[in-house]
Structure 1
Amino acid sequence: MTFRSKIDRPFLMLYGAATLLIAVSCFWPFFFDDDMPLSAAAILISIFVGTIAFMLWLILGISYVFRDDHIFVKAGPLRTKIAYEDISLISPTSDILTGMRMLSSRDALEIFYPKAVMDSVKISPAEQRRFLDELMKRVPRDKFHRSLL
Structure 2
Amino acid sequence: MKFESKKDILFSIIIIGLNTFLIGILIFGLIDGTMKSQGYIPMIIILAVVWLLFWLYFGTSYKLSKEDGLVYKSGPFRGKIGTDRITEIVKGKTLWVGFRPATSRKGLIVKYDKFNELYISPKTNESFIEKILELNSKIKITA
- CA distance in 2 between counterparts of 1:30 and 1:97 reads 37
TM-superposed deviation, 1:22? 3.3
- CA distance in 2 between counterparts of 1:127 and 1:53 reads 27
Name the count of aligned residue pairs.
Answer: 142
- CA distance in 2 between counterparts of 1:74 and 1:37 reads 34
Structure 1 residue aligned with 2:79: 80
Structure 2 residue aligned with 1:10: 10
Map 1:74-113 → 2, pairs under 5 A? 74-113=73-112
Query: Which range is displaced more, 46-55 or 1-10?
Result: 46-55
Q: Which amino acid aligns with 2:6?
A: K
Q: Deviations over 1:27-68 (max 9, x none)?
A: 66557x75x473735332222222111111111111111122
Q: Which amino acid aligns with 2:2?
A: T
For the structure 1 residues 24 and 93, does the alpha-carbon distance in structure 2 shift closer, same or farther, using more than 3 Å as the test?
A: same
SS at match of 1:15: helix
Gaps of 5+ in 2: none
Q: Which amino acid aligns with 1:102?
A: P
Identity %: 25
Asked if the contact 2:88–2:111 (Cα under 8 Å) also holds between the matched residues in 1, the reply is yes
Pairing partner for 2:49 from 48, 51, 54:
51
Structure 1 residue aligned with 2:22: 22
TM-superposed deviation, 1:20? 4.3
SS at match of 1:133: helix
Structure 1 residue aligned with 2:129: 132
Q: Deviations over 1:89-125 (max 9, x none)?
A: 101243242111011111200000127xx71000000
- CA distance in 1 between counterparts of 2:50 and 2:35 reads 23
Asked if the contact 1:101–1:121 (Cα under 8 Å) also holds between the matched residues in 2, the reply is yes
Gaps of 5+ in 1: none
RMSD: 2.5
SS at match of 1:106: coil
Structure with higher strand content: 2
Structure 2 length as normaliser, TM-score?
0.83
Asked if the contact 2:100–2:118 (Cα under 8 Å) also holds between the matched residues in 1, the reply is yes
